[in-house]
Amino acid sequence: MKKSLQALVISIAVCSAFSAHADINIDKEVKSVEKKVIEWRRDIHQHPELSNRETRTAALVAKHLKSLGMQVETDIAHTGVVGYLKGAKPGPTVMLRADMDALPVTEKADVPFKSTIVTKYMGEDVGVMHACGHDTHVAMLMGTAEVLAAVQKELHGNIMFVFQPAEEGAPKGEEGGANLMLKEGIFKKYQPDVAFGLHIMSNLNTGQIGYRSGPIMASGDTFDITVKGKQTHGSAPWNGVDPIAAASQIVTGVNHIVSRQIDITKEPAIISFGKISGGIRDNIIPDSVNMIGTIRNFDMDNRAKIFDNIKTTASHIAMASGAEADVKITEGYPVTINDPALTAQMLPTLKNVAGADNVFDVPKLTASEDFAFYSQEVPSLFIFLGGTPVGQDASKAPYNHSPYFYADESSFKIGTKALSQLAIDYLAMNQ
């Protein structure tokens, strides 16, 4: 009965939103910025910047927001930018977010605006590329800012535009990203009621939008296990303590955590070892072995249990071999959760923008996103935007982080309209 009543209330709110904003047709504004969005994207794509170093991109964004008459704040969390658009009518505040950083990837995509930037990363010369589409996110949100500024006098509330650095993770020894922007007080200052964001994806075609109610992207954490033994000659292992043998047993034991100790009927989880290193030659049993890996999960209680079980498993297996295990777990991004009520409330908007046949309930994604930090603070909705041209098999397209990653420019119109309409409709529903 309660669910039925809630659904009725949401339905009434949605209908009210569309009727309230029947006079705000943004198609003209979206069309007028489309070429600008493409130009901004190409410019940003040719000038990619790594995490916490997005100075040129931030300057471009700030200049544009100021030209629209917004209140603009810069240098947040190193290079972050916040623009604040105050509507003419009272109402809530909607946050819209785009991430700005690129990746240490040498571009191989054959496009006229490909990146040729090279920089030092982890001591090596590497290319820099927007291999995850953050250039498109920035350009679309810049376009959205122009669209919403054009209808400012009709907005029942305010818009907070967040251009965020370091979504891919801050450089070693630095803080960054969404968590640092929150630490520096952007939510306390601007007090958003909800947050919306999107990510372009190559596994969906242009014109398609993917969404999911509840957990949509996994938490992303890392573990670092050093197994300490006693070095000795390989011909006489009994004279030492073999950390390689202990490490191999730890790999097996840790892999059993998900399959035997975690209730994966509640939510799936993954533990993967990414690197094992130790020793220098065939006839020397080394002093130590180091192992690093990743933890992905969709339930915060399971997350804490996995952390504890990795520590217990590694230390006890090592002890049984006469070795020691030093386990360090670094918390990364929490689970990205789409608020169920907000998702239901805004689903008609997405269908109105893209067409009902182009809006899909997508499976959980085991990649992680630091938009998750915002979703812990306010009700949030994070969606996926198709970026592979219509007619191409999206399942075979180079995935995000690939040097061949490509985002179809005709998708930007849908993304710009989706962000704009989500803001307009939410404000109308809650005036």
* 143 and 34 Cβ atoms separated by less than 8 Å: yes
What is the separation of C-alpha 240 from the centre of its chain, rounded to a whole number of angstroms?
46
* 294 and 241 Cβ atoms separated by less than 8 Å: no
* 223 and 280 Cβ atoms separated by less than 8 Å: no
* 165 and 134 Cβ atoms separated by less than 8 Å: no
84 in catalytic set: no
Q: How far apart are CA 37 and CA 144, in angstroms?
A: 9
> Closest Cα to residue 133, out of 386, 354, 365, 382?
386
Q: How far apart are CA 91 and CA 376, in angstroms?
A: 22
CB burial of residue 388 (10 Å; 0-12, 13-18, 19+): buried
Find the catalytic residue in 29, 267, 409, 426.
409
409 in catalytic set: yes
Q: Report CA-CA distances (Å) from 135 to 117, 141, 143, 192.
A: 15, 10, 12, 24
Find the catalytic residue in 190, 333, 374, 426.
333
- Point out the residues that are catalytic: 333, 409
